[in-house]
Amino acid sequence: MNSVLFFVVMFIAGMAVAIQPSINGRLAQRVGALESSCISFAVGTLILFAFLLVGGKLGNLRGITDARWWELTGGLLGAFFVTLTIVIVPRIGTASAMAAIIAAQLMTGLLLDQYGIFGFRTIALDGKRSLGVALLLIGAGLVFRR
């Protein structure tokens, strides 16, 4: 897959991430915030499990025994993120929440790239990347409604 296709796929994933809090928020109106988050993760887990059964062996689940403790925190961070979006999106709106999330993700991503954190390749922070983050922060401020 070439990098343009990767970008398009991630763009579509970003659309899904923007839609998810509103869907979960509607469910939360029926069942509660923590319950909605739990249901969201349960449905996702069932779907992933079905893919594992149908898709055959794509990896090695036994590798979990070699994982470091912090490599298992992704689910915790995901639950934290999903639960907060369920609670906050109805209060400030989807666009404001997404603006804050995207700005924070980009800033964090730049730091992760700069220092090669988690063992991934290092990508230097330069003027263009810094300007991009600054403009995104300005844009997030403009999108946020009080």
Q: What is the pLDDT of residues 112-134, one digit of tens each?
A: 999 999 989 999 999 999 999 99
Sequence-distant (6+) residues with CB within 8 A of 82 are: 20, 21, 24, 37, 40, 41
Q: What is the Cα–Cα distance from 16 to 9, expressed in whole angstroms?
A: 11
Q: Which of 74, 82, 73 is nearest to 33 (CA)?
A: 82
Per-residue pLDDT for 57 more than 80? no
Per-residue pLDDT for 1 more than 70? no
Question: Taking residues 24-41, what's their average pLDDT?
Answer: 95
Say what the pTM is: 0.82
User: Cβ(123)–Cβ(113) under 8 Å?
Assistant: yes
Q: Which of 115, 118, 36 is nearest to 82 (CA)?
A: 36
Average pLDDT along the chain: 91
pLDDT at 146: 67
pLDDT at 60: 81
pLDDT bucket at 61, cuts 50 / 70 / 90: confident
* Percent of the chain topping pLDDT 70: 97
What are 66-110's pLDDT values in tens digits? 999 999 999 999 999 999 999 999 999 999 999 999 999 999 999
Sequence-distant (6+) residues with CB within 8 A of 88 are: 97
Neighbour-count burial for 82-106, b at 16+ CB within 10 Å, e otherwise:
bbebbbbbbeeebebbbbbbbbeeb
Q: What is the Cα–Cα distance from 120 to 96, expressed in whole angstroms?
A: 30
User: Cβ(100)–Cβ(144) under 8 Å?
Assistant: yes
Residue with tokens 């109805």: 90
